[in-house]
Structure 1
Amino acid sequence: MKDNSNALKSLSFEEKKIFNLLQKNGRLSKNKISSRTDIKLTTLNYVMEPLEKSKMIVESCIGESTGGRRPILYDININDFYIIGIDISILYTQVVITNLKMEILYKELFNMDDSYTPCETVKKVVEIINRAYANLNLSHMKLLGIGVGSVGPLDIKNGIIKNPVDFFADKWTDVPIKKMLEEKLKHPVIVENGANAAVVAEYFYGVGRGIENIAFFNCGIGIRTGTISSGHLIRTINDEEEAFGHMTIDIDGEKCKCGNYGCLECYSTIKAIIKNISKKIKKGRHTIINKPVEEIDYKDVCLAAEMGDELSIDIITDAALILGSGLSNYIKLLSPKLVILTGPLIINSKLFYEVCVKSTLKNLNSTKGKSVIFNRCGYFSGDAISIGASAMVIERCLESGI
């Protein structure tokens, strides 16, 4: 695969401004491009010429007349370039092919199990990309970049997945995922914290457009968090996306995998829900879930709760109440305007989402609570991390500083 990322990286400052404007907004006349970039019209023609020559931007259509000649509207070229986004999570890995507007051209997902070591995962990802390449006839298009949004902890600079503890397969320690993919795909790869990638996708292209302060929470095996404050991505120490999940809410609580006691993750995650319902069933509580205890998964609990199973409702409610308590503390600290709750628990349980939001609002004062917008699943839902990985390719090329 030929590396075309330099086509974007090598643009001048003014060229990047124009590309960024059209990529985020699209279909603008030269007059509007000039006014929104502060580039004089006389200079704009000169600056836009190489962008048009390289086909990074194209004449899109003719706009409406405002009294004179109808203006030509310009946009980025969505037909000649593509980006690969990869989401590596505990439960699944997903690959998407997007155009430069973050519109999905191809998507394929596989569930992670104990057979998917890092080598097998990379092998499967390459198979999917080759299949997409054939199905979409991508040979006539240019690959702008490959992005990976991964579960952490990570060494982002070197593209290493360090020591996650919940993968079903072995060997997920100090995995040089960037190097492994680059060797197979023959193209540079960038690696980013998955939740950070997702919040960037929602900020630029989803429900967060126009909002400067956003908090994104992916609730699944862990609680993964990405936050943008005043238009800037907040990075935690060592880029830990699960730092929020290890907020202590009960100093005398259960021991967490991190070594501390009473972390939020001990109570409000998939593993906690499965553990708690198994414990209750073994103690004699009735449930409509007709499975051996060891085979029950979180989807069974979510579905049973929606069907009115009292035990499942109790388990999900307790988990959501505790998450709401932690969320209220986070909101008091960072004051996000928009809070996006997503991930397997939110996607599969409306009850979990509703109880969590009510609990959060109850713990906030009335003024703070009224200023926060809650959103279930965001614009991209389960695709947020993979699309965010594609989006991060653009932002790294533009050196936006997000």
Structure 2
Amino acid sequence: MSYSPRSVPSHKQLIYDCIANLGPVAKAELLEAHDITSSTMTRLLDEMAKEGLILVTGLGPSKGGRKPLLYQVNPDHRYIFGLEISRFTSTLGLFDMNMNQKSVVRWRMDVTMTPERLVDHAVGMMLAFMKDHAIAPERVLGLGIGAVGPLDPGSGVIINPKYFPAKDWEQVPICLMFEEAIQLPTMLENGANTALVGEHWSIRHENVEHALYVSAGVSLRSAMMSYGRIVYGKVDTEGSIGQMIIDVDGPRLGDSGNYGSLETFASVQALERQVRTRLKLGGSLLPNHSSVAPEQVNLDTITSGLNAGDPFITEMFHQSASYFGVGLANLINMFHPELIILGGALINANPMYYRVATDVAVKKSYYSEAYLPEFSMGQLKEDAVVTGAALMVRSRMKL
């Protein structure tokens, strides 16, 4: 049975999550964070300790009386798989309950990686990880998937993502496929959301409540968090930031979407189209790839030209980053987050992209002296999606 991505957690689950995020932690600190009686807190802690969910790890400093017991999550109580399904690469990770990464593997998403082959490959690696770490199937809590959308998390279906190299990625019941293949509860979530959950967890001691995650790659993806919780809309918001209109008289990227949209000016697809057009017109680009035909141009060859100092590619990267910064400013002016985390292929291609985009975003953001957003490329980076997917499984386990 699939997990519900938006179920309401119980008191026991909330306390467990608090221990997982803050531990080692004393009972008094837990009482400050939860509106329950001391006797109820004691009962729940005793229950979780007897069930092996948490451990008593010692005594904390005294505040005038007896030293308090300190509680932390038992890392080896269960294990969780996290899976990222993306356009270029996919990643599988095995985690303990403290989100320590036990094993991880990545693979290319080429023209042969259909949904059926991906499930077969991932299940094979999951079984290998369990064997390597001597983990029985009943000790695995479940599988969390962070995927490129649009998707329907409630039914566990990937609907119709664009730009996958392989065919048959429309209306894919991915949760059912994994559950039938390996008999593990599986949940599906937008990869941008799981990336933000993962990155937020990595800085959990900094008390950031309002955050924004934006990925600039083949498409533009975003996620918002308010008071520590992901903000959802009526439907999956995959790619919606890319349809933000920044030039009412502008072109559009393909045969669908908005004219003058952000993705038309700030995406891998837009950069590739610009370079291909230049080459077809007889331009001299990509000095290290002089034999590359226009239709063979991709981000790798473009980045090579950038690193070689090609002036036109440098100008295109700068322009793309500037447009991306405008899009960030629009989001910031609407939401005013404390932290904006940026990721994706373009952000990672060259430091210039991040620098230009954040400079433009700051200059075009409206804020008082009391508000100045912080920008980051994140702590987990390429492991953010799988970590967040595993965290979402942990937060939805039934206690």
Q: Cα 1:368–1:260, aligned 2, differ >3 Å: closer, same or farther?
A: farther
Aligned-partner Cα distance in 1 for 2:370–2:65: 49
- Structure 1 pair 214/208, CA: closer, same or farther in 2 (3 Å)? farther
Q: Which amino acid in the other structure matches residue 286 of structure 2?
A: T
Q: Which residue of 2 aligns with 1:274?
A: 272
Q: Which moved more, 1:188-197 or 1:37-46?
A: 37-46
Q: Which residue does the alignment assign to 2:383?
A: 383
Aligned residue number for residue 250 of structure 2: 253
Deviation at 1:203, TM superposition (A): 2.5
Matched, 1:218 2:201: no
Native 8 Å contact 1:338 1:372 kept in 2: yes
Q: Distance in 1 between matches of 2:179 and 2:79?
A: 17
Matched, 1:340 2:341: yes
The offset of 1:307, in angstroms, is 4.2
SS at match of 2:289: coil
Residues 153 and 239 of structure 1 are in contact (CA less than 8 Å); yes or no, is this contact kept in structure 2? yes
Q: 1:285–1:311: 8 Å Cα contact kept in structure 2?
A: no
Residues of 1 paired with 2:43 and 2:82: CA distance?
A: 33
Structure 2 counterpart of 1:244:
241
- Is 1:288 aligned to residue 287 of structure 2? yes
Corresponding residue for residue 394 of structure 2: 394
Residue matched to 2:54: 57
Kindly report which structure 2 residues correspond to 1:31-110, keeping only aligned pairs within 5 A, or say none.
31-65=28-62, 70-110=67-107
1:116-127 correspondence to structure 2 within 5 Å: 116-127=113-124
Cα distance in 1 between the residues matched to 2:275 and 2:315: 9
The superposition leaves residues 307-338 of structure 1 with CA deviations (integer Å, 9 ceiling, x where unpaired) of: 43322211211111111111111111121121
Q: One-letter code of the match for 1:275? A: R
Unaligned runs of 5+ in 2: none
1:193 aligns with 190
Q: Aligned-residue CA RMSD in angstroms?
A: 2.7
Give the corresponding residue for 2:22: 25
In the TM superposition, what is the alpha-carbon distance from 1:395 to its structure 2 partner?
2.8
Mark the CA change 1:289 to 1:57 in structure 2 (over 3 Å): closer, same or farther.
Answer: same
The letter of the residue matching 1:224 is R
The whole-number CA distance in structure 1 between the counterparts of 2:309 and 2:61 is: 55
Percent identity at matched positions?
28
**CA 362–17 in structure 1, closer or farther in 2 if over 3 Å, else same:** closer
CA distance in 1, matches of 2:113, 2:203: 31
Q: In 2, are the aligned partners of 1:203 and 1:209 still within 8 Å (CA)?
A: no
CA deviation map 1:38-74 (0-9, x unaligned): 5444443332222111100112234345566544321
1:242-284 Cα deviation digits (max 9, x unpaired): 1011112223322334343122112211121122122223332
Tell me if structure 2 keeps the 8 A contact 1:255–1:261: yes
**Shift >6 Å, 4+ stretches:** none
Contact 1:80–1:140 (CA under 8 A) maintained in structure 2:
no
Where structure 1 has 5 or more consecutive residues not aligned to the other structure, the ranges are none
Q: 1:302 to 1:189 in 2, by over 3 A?
A: same
C-alpha distance in 1 between matches for 2:91 and 2:369 = 37
- After TM superposition, the score normalised by the length of structure 2 is 0.90
Q: Comparing 125-134 with 137-146, which one deviates more in the overlay? A: 137-146
The secondary structure found in structure 2 opposite 1:128 is helix
SS in 1 for 2:277: helix
Q: Which amino acid aligns with 1:311?
A: F
CA deviations on 1:70-97 (whole Å, 9 max, x unpaired) are 4432101102211111111111111111
| More displaced 10-residue stretch of structure 1: 221-230 or 55-64 | 55-64
Give the number of aligned pairs. 392
Q: How far does residue 358 in structure 1 lie from its aligned partner after superposition?
A: 1.2
